[in-house]
């Protein structure tokens, strides 16, 4: 009834007296809202007819069924459907069966065609209720003019088609009792619909954005069970606060139902894993596992990390990053090769400083005399060139200069004795005869003179007499 009034702005049944309105409630179906309000779809007419059918077997079995019908009509209206033949047919109540009149009986009144419920009262009885002072056997709605017309000539009655008159006492109490029962039944149906369709349900409180403890406490105090679903990441809801609930806030459900809460895990971030010592491919796979990406790859020589492995990365391990962030890495090219160079014939001190600055170790333990290489210069080196790695050794042979020996005096010695002594010191001995040579075979003079220091291997010339 309320739906009809909302659609049309008027009551479905009206009369001059309450009894007349009650008569229509009992004997007439609610008219289609589209008769008074244009634009009402046929399936809405059918919903009203189904919900107000006088035969309770034609009405929805309970509030949940009526709610289901309302959802279907609401969806059709939201979709802009102006006519849905299937929906209209589903909602339209079946017409109550009207028995065919028996032979010789009075014809069925026209207003009963299409009723969804058989008549409970005889029209004559209800007419008497509507006008207690009038003739109960008169047609409903008959006024003075009708009575006057009845006083005129009439056709002979056909006894076979008229029912036997009913006792007046029965008519006096039967109508009010049945009306009372109908009103009680209608009240009971309305109360049941209100209870099963609304009153027994509770509204789910709004706990969105609340902390877990606060939300659980509020729901349990409202009579609901609480379950926690897997958390989700959220940019707007603080960690361990409620992101959503099922059923949603404001929905009406039975007390004791379970409300499932989804808590926030906070802003979605992942820690950077340790990548040191991994290959580039392994580092990329490790980052992908935490939804991060490999960024720039820079190569650098390293004395400690094997070639092809990650030396370091930025951001460092443990830094919290959002999904899709990049991590740059520095990959080892292996040990840096160092150029040794050629230092033979060059100053040994300068060679040592340069090589040690590169990180090489210099070994100068080998020294020797050299008549051609000045003192302090490199006579030889090992390796003779090429490259080495940091910490490897370069050996330098450093010159002590010429090996100087003091020339002894061999004057007046026999030539053979003098030769032996000088050759023993490493000199080369040459002889020549003095002018006026006597053939004695003794040393008359020597060059260089005795006491001079000359390189070993130098030549000493002896003059013989």
Among residues of the chain, what percentage have pLDDT more than 90?
34
Topology at the third CATH level for domain 337-399? Trypsin Inhibitor V; Chain A (3.30.10)
pLDDT in tens, 258-276: 999 999 988 888 999 999 9
- Same CATH topology for 2-98+108-141+171-195 and 202-263: the answer is no
Q: In what order do the strands lie in the sheet with 443-447?
A: 428-433, 459-464, 443-447
Dihedral (CA of 195, 196, 197, 199) sign: positive
Q: Which residue has the higher pLDDT, 225 or 145?
A: 225
CATH of 2-98+108-141+171-195, one of 1.10.510, 1.10.3470, 3.40.50, 1.20.58: 1.10.510
Q: Specify the CATH number of the domain 272-332.
A: 3.30.10.20
> Own/partner pairs for 136-141, CB < 8 Å, 24+ apart?
136/168, 136/171, 137/165
**Measured on CA atoms in the order 174, 176, 182, 187, is the torsion positive or negative?**
negative
Residue ranges of domains in the chain:
2-98+108-141+171-195, 202-263, 272-332, 337-399, 404-464
Strand partners, 300: 332
pLDDT tens digits, one per residue of 354-367: 999 999 999 999 99
User: How far is it between the farthest Cα atoms of the chain?
Assistant: 213
Share of the chain above pLDDT 70, in %: 80
Report d(CA 258, CA 280) in Å as an integer.
50
Position 108 scores a pLDDT of 43
**21: pLDDT confidence band, cut at 50, 70 and 90?**
confident
**What integer best gives the mean pLDDT of the chain?**
80
CATH 3.30.10.20 fits 202-263, yes or no: yes
Specify the residue for token string 């650098």.
300
- Bridge partners, residue 367, by sequence: 398
Residue 388 zone, left/alpha/beta (φ > 0; ψ -120 to 50; rest): beta
State which fold the 404-464 domain adopts: Trypsin Inhibitor V; Chain A (3.30.10)
What is the rounded distance in angstroms from the CA atom of residue 421 to the CA atom of residue 161?
A: 183
Q: Is residue 33 scored above 50 in pLDDT?
A: yes
Residue 181 has what pLDDT? 73
Highest mean pLDDT among 23-37, 325-339, 428-442: 325-339
pLDDT of 134-152, one tens digit each? 444 444 444 443 333 333 3
């Amino acid at each position: 009834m309320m739906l009809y009034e909302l659609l049309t702005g008027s009551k479905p049944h009206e009369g001059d007296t309450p009894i007349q309105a009650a008569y229509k409630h009992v004997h007439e179906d609610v008219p289609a809202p589209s008769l008074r309000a244009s634009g009402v779809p046929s399936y809405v007419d059918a919903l009203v007819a189904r919900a107000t059918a006088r035969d309770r077997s034609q009405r929805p079995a309970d509030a949940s069924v009526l709610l289901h019908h309302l959802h279907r009509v609401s969806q059709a209206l939201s979709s802009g459907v102006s006519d849905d033949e299937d929906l209209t047919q589903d909602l339209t109540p079946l017409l109550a069966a009207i028995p065919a009149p028996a032979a010789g009986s009075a014809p069925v009144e026209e207003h009963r065609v299409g009723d969804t419920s058989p008549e409970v009262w005889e029209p004559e009885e209800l007419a008497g209720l509507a006008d207690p002072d009038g003739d109960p056997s008169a047609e409903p709605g008959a006024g003075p003019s009708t009575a006057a017309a009845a006083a005129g000539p009439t056709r002979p009655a056909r006894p076979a088609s008229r029912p036997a008159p009913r006792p007046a006492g029965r008519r006096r109490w039967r109508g009010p009792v049945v009306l009372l029962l109908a009103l009680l039944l209608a009240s009971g149906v309305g109360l049941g619909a209100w209870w099963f369709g609304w009153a027994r349900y509770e509204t789910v409180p709004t706990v969105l954005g609340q902390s877990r403890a606060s939300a659980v406490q509020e729901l349990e105090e409202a009579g609901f069970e609480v379950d926690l679903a897997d958390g989700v990441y959220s940019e707007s809801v603080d960690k361990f606060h409620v992101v959503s609930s099922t059923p949603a806030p404001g929905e009406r459900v039975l007390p004791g139902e379970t409300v499932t809460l989804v808590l926030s895990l906070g802003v979605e971030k992942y820690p950077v894993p340790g990548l040191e010592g991994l290959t580039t491919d392994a580092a990329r796979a490790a980052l992908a596992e935490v939804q991060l990406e490999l960024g720039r790859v820079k190569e650098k020589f390293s004395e400690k990390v094997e070639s092809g492995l990650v030396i370091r990365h930025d951001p460092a391990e443990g830094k919290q990053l959002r999904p899709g962030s990049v991590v740059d890495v520095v990959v080892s090219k292996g040990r840096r090769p160092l150029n040794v160079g050629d230092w033979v014939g060059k100053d040994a001190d300068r060679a040592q400083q340069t090589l040690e600055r590169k990180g090489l170790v210099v070994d100068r333990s080998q020294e020797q005399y050299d008549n051609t290489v000045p003192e302090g210069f490199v006579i030889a080196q090992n390796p003779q060139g090429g490259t080495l790695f940091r910490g490897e050794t370069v050996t330098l042979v450093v010159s002590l200069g010429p090996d100087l020996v003091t020339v002894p005096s061999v004057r007046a010695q026999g030539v053979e004795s003098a030769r032996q002594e000088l050759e023993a010191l490493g000199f080369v001995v040459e002889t020549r005869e003095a002018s006026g040579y006597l053939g004695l075979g003794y040393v008359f003079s020597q060059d260089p003179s005795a006491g001079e220091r000359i390189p070993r291997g130098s030549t000493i010339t002896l003059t013989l007499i």
